[in-house]
Amino acid sequence: MCGRFAQYRIAYEYLDKIDVQLPLPLRGGVNPEPIGRYNVPPRTNALLIHWDLDGMRIEPVPWGYAPWWAQGKRPPAINARVETAATSKFFRDIWSTGRSIVPADGWFEWKKDEQNPKIKQPYFIKLRSGEPMFFAALGQFQRGGMLEPRDGDGFVIITSSSDAGMLDIHDRRPLVLSGECAAHWMDPELPPAEAEELALEHGLGVDEFEWYAVGREVGNVRNEGAQLIAPVSDPLL
């Protein structure tokens, strides 16, 4: 985890949940149409919320990151473990400068058959409240209104351990923050040590989520649409 998620609301619907907690000037334009992505895969652009030099920005950034010294030597990482991200050589340069948020509506996990690992049942996981969720992320991106991407720009989603119930599906899950904690996470004035404490201690608990089996069509990155998050009545597992 995390290898696929949904990001389908209007961008303002995510931003409003953060602005209620910590109003900030918004830089750059925001598309007023729904994003409409129900099957966001790695190595594609996804909307990322982060601090700019004088406000907050939401813009597309590639999902996947590698520091300059690792580029070309291995595929970009798509996840970072919360237990080690603050001190890992791979991520420590962006721990202070690249704390950001992936706004999302849920994510997918695949449950494997213990007897036959080739049999997998996808599940969609979302907040019980039906509200948007905020994945803690780390990234490298442009600032100051310079929207042309650079080589190496990208982000990773921070993951934490799953607890009872969700553990049956997968042992890792995205680190999901409340709107208030998401605002603090992005604050460039928050010391790195306090950001680490926030990440380790203030993610939403498993009881905040619900999950259900969905169709196997989500396994193909070319498939898209709201039908991908519809529950199925006859899951494989």
State the catalytic residues. Answer: 2, 109
The strand pair at 120-127 and 209-213 is best described as antiparallel
Q: Which residues pair with 19 in a beta bridge?
A: none
Are the C-beta atoms of 119 and 112 separated by less than 8 Å? yes
Q: Which residues pair with 7 in a beta bridge?
A: 37
10 Å Cβ neighbour count for 21? 14
113-123 burial, b for 16+ CB within 10 Å, e for fewer? Answer: eeeeeeeebbb
Q: Which residues pair with 214 in a beta bridge?
A: 231
> Which residue, among 130, 121, 107, has the nearest Cα to 232 in the 3D structure?
121
Are the C-beta atoms of 203 and 176 separated by less than 8 Å? yes
Question: 104 CB contacts (<8 Å, ≥6 apart)?
Answer: 5, 6, 7, 132, 133, 134, 135, 174
Are the C-beta atoms of 80 and 158 separated by less than 8 Å? yes
Which amino acid is residue 230, in one-letter code? A
